[in-house]
Amino acid sequence: MTDTTLPPRRPREHGGNLDAARSRFGGEDWIDLSTGINRQPYPLPPLSPAAWTDLPTRAAQERLTAVAASAFATPAAILALNGAQGAIQLIPRVGRPGRARVLGPTYNEHAGALRAAGWAVTEVATLDALAGADLAVVVNPNNPDGQSHDPQALLRLSRQVGRLVVDESFADPVPGLSLAPQAGVRGLFVLRSFGKFWGLAGVRLGFVLGHPDDIAALSDLAGPWPVSGAAIEIGCAALADRAWTAASTARLVAETARLDALAAGAGWTLVGGTALFRTYQTGDGLAAQERLARARIWTRAFSARPGWLRLGLPGTETEWTRLAAALEGTD
């Protein structure tokens, strides 16, 4: 009898793997800067008992998407999912697989989800090289190098491909980059994250914006309860809190300069980034990661870019002090 057992799948590289850091370096009081998650999260509102005991109603889900439409300033149809990752997993299953092109280097789950759904995937280096694809993916602003693209250029590209996926998971602090106000045209999917800017990744909430027919197709795949009652109530409160959004944006933008200055003092040069993370050329990313890990600060290195290191922004003065000491070698 033929053994058809598949070999274990090698996990794709990600930040947030703090268990690996603890296993290798020990200790408990870690500062996790390996993701682009805001370390000053939105304060959790009180939740109703029904958020935990009842299936989410259609009315509650519609309330969430209405609040999201207002927050993102979009006329498009919206589907709430379990993080932007939920959309990344579902979109390749809409329609027949064909030729996909991904603007890289970028978040590796896009290509992985497409290949798993039967798409032939090519990574390209320029926006123009995406033209002609059956499906094209652009992360704007990009993770991990922060490259950004003008929304009008992306709209033009949407007419040159079968479908265009624009992942705006890090766009909240720069709303002028967003295609959300122009979303709603057929074949264009705009992804928005909740966990990153609002700092509540454990809620597992994200959104996909698009044409009503495209969103209906995704909704059929997602099923009747794609997000929890708790996620709905938290999302409604956070997305409607414009004062918190404005204050957090101003703080994050200002603190990128602080992080860049610390990195420059360590001899690193800026590759790029956003208001939620910065990526530096360190010469040896693994060595730089290990140096900070000895101070129980976890960061993101890249096997395909061995000189790079990505850091999120510290959330408290204590965290900033620990990072500065580690970079100065005085920890």
Q: pLDDT tens-digit profile of 43-102?
A: 999 999 999 999 999 999 999 999 999 999 999 999 999 999 999 999 999 999 999 999
The answer for residues whose C-beta is within 8 angstroms of residue 203's C-beta and 6 or more apart is: 194, 195, 230, 231, 234, 235
**pLDDT 10s digits, 122-178:** 999 999 999 999 999 999 999 999 999 999 999 999 999 999 999 999 999 999 999
- Do residues 296 and 195 share a domain? no
Structure tokens at 150: 């003008």
Same domain (yes/no): 264, 214: no
Q: Rounded distance, CA 328 to CA 331, Å?
A: 8
CATH number of the CATH domain containing 78: 3.40.640.10
Report yes or no on whether pTM surpasses 0.85.
yes
State the CATH number of the domain containing residue 262.
3.90.1150.10
pLDDT band at 2 (very low <50, low <70, confident <90, very high): very low
Q: Is 7 among the domain residues? A: no
Q: Is 157 found in the same domain as 118? A: yes
How many distinct structural domains can be found in the chain? 2
| Residues forming a β-bridge with 298 | 32
Which residues form the domain of 274? 18-41+243-328
Identify whether the C-beta of residue 80 lies closer than 8 Å to the C-beta of residue 64.
yes
DSSP string, 203-215: G--EEEEE-HHHH
Question: Among residues 177, 209, 240, which one ends one of the domains?
Answer: 240
Identify whether residues 36 and 109 lie together within a single domain.
no
Cα 173 from Cα 74, distance rounded (Å): 16
